[in-house]
Amino acid sequence: RFAYVDGQYVPHAKACVHIEDRGFQFADAIYEVIAIRNGALMDERGHLDRLVRSLNELKIPLPMSLTALPIVMRELIRRNRVRNAALYMQITRGEAARDFRFDPDLAPTLVMTVRRADFSHTKQLNQGLKILSVPDLRWARPDIKTVMLLPSSLAKMHALEQGADDAWLVDANGYVTEGSSNNAWIVTADGELVTRPADGRILKGVTRSALQHIATLFQLRIVERPFTIAEAQAACEAFSTSASAFVAPVVSIDGKMIGDGKPGRVALGMRERYLRYSE
């Protein structure tokens, strides 16, 4: 298994960055996760566009050109001989003695790993996900895909400890922002697919955008508006979307069953369409 670290392909077990990398001290870094399905990168363009946006928001320079980056991605996939996997890419501001100030010209650190994945998602599809709602304690810029993931990780662990599968984060006004590492959706009785607008309080998911595109193709109605946990519990269906889980049906929230408590038809249908769309 190989990783890419700043210009070199190295055995995964030997891959490392310096202890004074700002990614380590300050979480001064952004990342992307891209699925590789049947040998092909899914939504590559969308992920690279968002990567550039995240870098721009933090004024971290691109570590290499946008022509070179996909070449490195493909070379790493080739060396790892994977067909179904998740590509993880992280760019930190770079190495510097610990200081809140930073040199704007610091050379960024780029690392990539590839990890085999099972995209049949058997359990998630057969049983659906049980969700626990948790206060959203993240910083005020969740629209940037930073590695500052501690609140999300703690929320997920709390959900698991309570016997749930994932956490949905709830803002101070009682509205769902998103899942711990995915976007949150509900399906109303009128067949509308509802998800929170990209209002700065969520990460604008690439899978979410793909579903919006698919909805226009199939004349499905997607409505962008915030919703509460109570509304989600009363909805016909709920699901979450991400690059690693695709479309994951949700069957309960805070112990309350959604619909008939089985993975919903709309969610499963959107998943199928998403897989076909990204082929």
Toward ligand PDD, which CB reaches closer, 147 or 234? 147
What is the distance between the alpha carbons of residues 41 and 82, in angstroms, rounded to a whole number? 11
156 is known as an active-site residue: no
Least CB distance to ligand PDD at residue 208 (A) = 6
Q: How large is the angle between the packed helices 68-80 and 44-58, nearest 10 degrees? A: 120
Task: Calculate ∠ Cα 121-278-113, nearest 5°.
Answer: 65
Q: Which of 92, 124, 207, 252 binds ligand PDD (CB under 6 A)?
A: 207
Of 139 and 218, which has the nearer Cβ to ligand PDD? 139
Give the separation between CA 231 and CA 252, rounded to whole angstroms. 12
**How many Cβ atoms from other residues are within 10 Å of residue 127's Cβ?**
14
60 vs 169, beta carbon nearer ligand PDD: 169
Question: 147-161 b/e with 16+ CB inside 10 Å = b?
Answer: bbbebbeebbeebee
Among 134, 206, 214, 253, interactor with ligand PDD by CB under 6 A = 206
| Residue of 14, 123, 130, 145 marked active site | 145
Work out the end-to-end distance of the chain between its first and last CA atoms, rounded to an integer number of angstroms. 26
* Residue 242 lies near ligand PDD (rule: CB under 6 A): yes
Residues numbered 19-38 forming contacts with ligand PDD, rule: CB under 6 A: 33
Regarding 205 and contact with ligand PDD (CB under 6 A), the answer is yes
Exposed, middle or buried: residue 215 (CB in 10 Å: 0-12, 13-18, 19+)?
A: middle
241 forms part of the interface with ligand PDD (CB under 6 A): yes
Residues 131-190 that bind ligand PDD (CB under 6 A): 178, 181-183
Q: How far is the CB of 260 from ligand PDD (least distance, A)?
A: 27
Residues marked as catalytic = 145
Interacting residues toward ligand PDD by CB under 6 A = 33, 178, 181-183, 203, 205-208, 241-244
